[in-house]
Amino acid sequence: MAIRAFGELYGQQVVEGTLEGTGASLSVLSYGAAIRDWRVQAADGSVVPTVLGYDSFAPYLSQFRSFNIIAGRVANRTAFGRFDLDGKTVYLPANNGTHHIHGGNRGLGQRVWTMEEDRSANALRLTYDSPDGEEGYPGRAQFSVTFTLKGSRLDIAMRAEVDRATPINLAQHNYYNLDGGGDVRGHHLTLAASRYTPVDDLLIPTGEEASVEGTRYDFRGDGRTVEASDPNREGADINLVLDTDRDPSAPAAILRGARSGLELRMVTDQPGLQLYTAFKMGDLPLLGHGGVAYGNYSGICLEPQHFPDSLNKPHWPSILATPDTGYRQDLSIDIAPAG
């Protein structure tokens, strides 16, 4: 376990913390509480970088800003950057065309957090105190995210305390590539999700829930490869409704690399999961881990969350946190050789 300087943002030092597990190592940045690197030993002894990322700080500012961050205060999209609370309309920055996404221009994923190590638990704890009005959100919110590496399994505990009713919907935004590079369409995916939330042309949910039967979002049962689900390369950027009758201790998502033999198993307590196959990423000019060039389909995101635009869909589960309830989310991700 170690913490070292990694960069600087607006006069604030950005640090990197590293955890070592069984056949796995994890690096976390204080910038955005982002996972910078997650290396896992495959069955053949090779060490595979399983998430997209960079070896220096500058690309995180000039390139793709969502790599592996904690997105919030409210992840995903809020229609027209507004919602009603306590009889008043709250306005948020429209940073995704006419809509709001991932907490605004400088959401939690673009802030510098404070990092502490807990050697006895093999954990890193990050905290951020978001003041009232930051990015338009009402009330003060004190966030903590704890990364604990137990063998090959990463446990992520996300918490918040608030001083008034305010929306919170965090999403851990890893871009996975279990082969360490190349096209992820050969990855095999299984999801415990029989429904999804249809969207309009700007990716705002219509408020309906529809069956995945016959769609490119159907990964039930034994699952299938991303390529088999989407032969026309239309891509996926959609919220899946996780089955409420599933075993809560069983994986909601299982992802297996095409070449490495590595398998990801994800357990979550959230009602939804955003599937994004990075089909709109475009070619990024700076090289990532191992000198790999990133472009369309270089990664796949599996983001546990509450449903997008829940603030404007009162029939969906609420994302309002209160001083009494606070906010909590628990996520476990195990990446290891399939077996």
Instruction: Place 283 in a pLDDT band, splitting at 50, 70 and 90.
Output: confident
- Per DSSP, the chain holds a count of helices (H) and strands (E) of 2, 27
Q: Which of 74, 75, 69 is nearest to 30 (CA)?
A: 69
Residue 241 is assigned to a structural domain of this protein: no
Tens digits of residue pLDDT in 111-144:
999 999 999 999 999 999 999 999 999 999 999 9
Q: Write out the residue range of the structural domain in which residue 323 sits.
A: 2-186+265-337
Q: Annotated binding residue at 185?
A: no
**Active-site pick, 16, 135, 263, 303:** 303
Residue 9 lies in a domain: yes
DSSP state of 233: -
73: preceding bond cis by omega (within 30 degrees): yes
pLDDT band at 64 (very low <50, low <70, confident <90, very high): low
For range 191-198, the mean pLDDT: 99
Q: How many domains does the chain have?
A: 1
177 is in an annotated binding site: no
Q: What is the pLDDT of residues 71-101, one digit of tens each?
A: 999 999 999 999 999 999 999 999 999 999 9
User: 41-44 long-range CB contacts below 8 Å, 24 or more apart?
Assistant: 41/337, 42/260, 42/261, 42/262, 42/337, 43/261, 43/337, 43/339, 44/261
Residue 309 annotated as binding site: no
Determine, yes or no, domain membership for 290: yes
Please check if 54 is assigned to a binding site.
no
**Model confidence at 65: pLDDT above 90:** no
Reply yes or no on whether the pLDDT at 154 is more than 90.
Answer: yes
The answer to whether residue 229 is domain-embedded is no
Does residue 244 belong to any structural domain of this protein?
A: no
| Residue 26 phi, psi (nearest 5) | -135, 135
100 in a known ligand binding site: no
Residue 219 lies in a domain: no
Find the mean pLDDT for residues 273-283.
94
Find the CATH number of the domain harbouring 174: 2.70.98.10
Torsion angle of C-alpha atoms 303, 306, 310, 313, degrees rounded to 10:
120
For residue 173, say whether it is annotated as part of any ligand binding site: yes
Q: What's the pLDDT at 63?
A: 66
Residue 8 annotated among the catalytic residues of the structure: no
Residue 44 in any domain: the answer is yes
Question: Has 188 been annotated as catalytic?
Answer: no
Query: Quick check: is 256 in a domain?
Result: no
Q: Is the Cβ–Cβ distance between 47 and 40 less than 8 Å? A: yes
Q: Percent of the chain having pLDDT more than 90? A: 96
Candidates 173, 187, 188, 306; catalytic one: 173
pLDDT at 184: 98
Please count the residues of the chain: 339
